[in-house]
Amino acid sequence: DSGVTQTPKHLITATGQRVTLRCSPRSGDLSVYWYQQSLDQGLQFLIQYYNGEERAKGNILERFSAQQFPDLHSELNLSSLELGDSALYFCASSPRGARTGELFFGEGSRLTVL
């Protein structure tokens, strides 16, 4: 158990809908990363937050947004969903000040868009 909690584990929804994925980082970790994993693209970096502030942005679509709250949990909002958004969404956290690549991943939220 990595200590990172993601909910929901599975989500099935329809095109055009909006969903929110939630992540609770490990106790004490200030950084939260969101990744999308699909079969053909591998793990794609979406966005990173550090102590409530956006720190880095990857290939995140404009239809997607995220935030990190004062209690350090984070939410990834996906709107106007398309079939191609079906994927595993991972949240990862890292220790304060870590620059070692030591990311602790949750078990992911599997999104299916029908």
Partner 1 sequence: QKEVEQDPGPLSVPEGAIVSLNCTYSNSAFQYFMWYRQYSRKGPELLMYTYSSGNKEDGRFTAQVDKSSKYISLFIRDSQPSDSATYLCAIGMGNQFYFGTGTSLTVIP
Site for partner 1 in 57-96 (CB under 8 A): 58, 90, 92
Q: Binding of partner 1 at residue 107 (CB under 8 A)?
A: yes
- Chosen residue from 50, 68, 74, 81 binding partner 1 by CB under 8 A: 50
- Chosen residue from 15, 18, 84, 102 binding partner 1 by CB under 8 A: 102
3 state DSSP class of 109? strand
Q: Binding of partner 1 at residue 97 (CB under 8 A)?
A: no
**DSSP letter (8 states) at residue 98:** -
Diameter of the chain measured on Cα atoms: 40
CB 44 within 8 A of CB 37: yes
CA–CA distance, 86 with 112 (Å, rounded to integer) = 5
Supply the minimum distance, in Å, between the C-beta of residue 114 and partner 1: 20
Chain centroid to CA 63: how far? 14
Q: Binding of partner 1 at residue 99 (CB under 8 A)?
A: yes
Q: Looking at the DSSP assignment, which residues form a beta bridge with residue 67?
A: 75
Q: Binding of partner 1 at residue 7 (CB under 8 A)?
A: no
Residues that bind partner 1 (CB under 8 A): 2, 4, 31, 33, 35, 41-43, 45, 48, 50, 55-56, 58, 90, 92, 99-108
